[in-house]
Amino acid sequence: MRILFTADWHLGYTLAGANPQPRLPDQRRNIDRIAAYCEEHAVDVLAIAGDVFEAQERGASRAAAYAMVDGLRAPLARGMRVVAVAGNHDRDYFIDTANIWLTAATRELGDARTARSSDLSSSNDQQQIIFRTKPDLVTVEAGGERMNFALLPFPTPYRYDLRHDDSGGVAQRNELLAKLFGEKMEELRKRSAEQRLPTVLLTHVTVTGTTVKAHRISPRDDVVIPRGSFPEFELTVIGHIHTPEQIGGAHFYYVGVLDRMDVAERDYDTRVLLADIGPQGVREITSLPLDPTPFAIVVAETEDDLAAQAKTIDRIDETLVKLVLRVPRGTYAAPFLDRARQLFPRLYGNVEMDWTDEDDTQTPAVEGLNPANVEDTVRRYLEEQQMPEDERDALMGLVHELRAKTLTEGDA
Ligand SMILES: [Mn+2]
């Protein structure tokens, strides 16, 4: 059975700030490439290891789901299945909605297919779109072979039935979640072993031993699972960490992000994994390249600098540019910004000001301030301040509330 693995699509995500840049066209270009791989290699299952959707409001969510179905039209019409787990960015209610939309859209494609040939009716008994927000073991049959997917979404209290008990705080909650995650994983392994089927673990979580931090989540909110607590499945494929990476010698992989999310990921070589799995496990596994969007940081002191740097960027119409202005405090920046917008069609986010008359010895209280993600930035600031834990938790609670309120107003 041939399975194509991918993760961290973040469909519908927009680079926010004063110069917002929607990413759906970049994502769609890479979905099209994935669809072409699926056809070229007659892929039976497309497996997505979490963070499939990240759209902030209804219109963008619908566009994201549509881009997915439309991009995957050919393999879906052929009968390819999609198996996915929810990541930390996937909202449970939206996954349920997406399940319905995708199933309906796929059924329309399928009707044309069944009209052409009737011998596919047995495979129609199985669900074609399998998105899970709760742990589950799913058997998939294709090309006369059967195998299991152990599906473990990113751990949240709701998904892993953790009864809420506020006495312990975030650290204890995460410890409990890690324990429940381990227990679920072992339970699925046992059930699968009884069926004597090869098993792929698909999940979205941080594993100890990775060198890179998870994308836009503070260590306080992240649940970390020790590598040693993973049972040996035939293949383990994980999302959440955006760099493609094999961990250790076993078939244990971070598949990597669909496309570079921001300038911090500008060196990532994006890819998907194509695996052929038989009754004895992995027959073959290969890495296929995606088409990452170029990113650049432009640091300029004068308008002439801007023009000179624009000339050094090859694919200027595609390149997402982060601009840093090195000017004396009080410089009138508007002409710079106008010029920058003309020169760099995909200038994104807020322009960073690096004041040249600033005292060099003064270091920022928190590294990598990100105006596009207020909550995470404030969280990281609070983490670095000396204060009692309960005070920090209370402050963070307020920030969370404020952000939830802003999002609700944004939705309306
Ligand atoms: Mn994630």
CA 142 – ligand 1 centroid, Å: 29
Q: Which residue range is the domain that position 334 belongs to?
A: 295-411
Question: Are 285 and 393 members of one domain?
Answer: no
Question: Are 14 and 133 members of one domain?
Answer: yes
CA 12 – ligand 1 centroid, Å: 15
pLDDT value, residue 403: 74
Question: Are 277 and 238 members of one domain?
Answer: yes
CA 87 – ligand 1 centroid, Å: 5
Q: Is residue 171 within 8 Å of residue 116, measured between CB atoms?
A: no
Question: Are 266 and 156 members of one domain?
Answer: yes
CA 139 – ligand 1 centroid, Å: 25
Question: Are 334 and 260 members of one domain?
Answer: no
Separation between Cα atoms, residue 184 and residue 177, nearest integer Å? 10
CA 10 – ligand 1 centroid, Å: 9
Output b/e per residue, 355-387; b: 16+ Cβ within 10 A. Answer: eeeeeeeeeeebeeebebbebbbbbbebeeeee
Tell me the sheet residues that pair with 325.
300, 353
For the segment 115-141, the average pLDDT, to the nearest whole number, is 73
CATH number at residue 26: 3.60.21.10
Question: Are 78 and 123 members of one domain?
Answer: yes
Q: Could you read off the pLDDT of 76-97 as tens digits, one per residue?
A: 999 999 999 999 999 888 888 8
Q: Could you read off the pLDDT of 269-313 as tens digits, one per residue?
A: 999 999 999 999 999 999 999 999 999 999 999 999 999 999 999
pLDDT value, residue 119: 43
Domain edge (last residue) among 265, 289, 313: 289
Q: Is residue 345 scored above 80 in pLDDT?
A: yes
For the segment 31-57, the average pLDDT, to the nearest whole number, is 95
CA 241 – ligand 1 centroid, Å: 7
Q: Quick one: 194 exposed, middle or buried, by C-beta within 10 A (0-12, 13-18, 19+)?
A: exposed
Domain edge (last residue) among 289, 323, 339: 289
Question: Are 144 and 225 members of one domain?
Answer: yes
User: What is the 8-class DSSP label of residue 126?
Assistant: S
Domain edge (last residue) among 239, 271, 289: 289
Of all residues in the chain, the percent with pLDDT exceeding 90 is 61
Token pair 């990775």 is found at: 210
CA 93 – ligand 1 centroid, Å: 17
Question: Are 271 and 299 members of one domain?
Answer: no
CA 214 – ligand 1 centroid, Å: 7
User: What is the 8-class DSSP label of residue 167?
Assistant: G
pLDDT value, residue 407: 64
Question: Are 72 and 176 members of one domain?
Answer: yes
Please give the full DSSP string across 56-67, using - where no structure is assigned. Answer: SSHHHHHHHHHH
Question: Are 94 and 163 members of one domain?
Answer: yes
Question: Are 253 and 159 members of one domain?
Answer: yes
Read off the pTM.
0.83
CA 243 – ligand 1 centroid, Å: 12
Domain tally, the chain: 2
Question: Are 214 and 318 members of one domain?
Answer: no
CA 85 – ligand 1 centroid, Å: 11
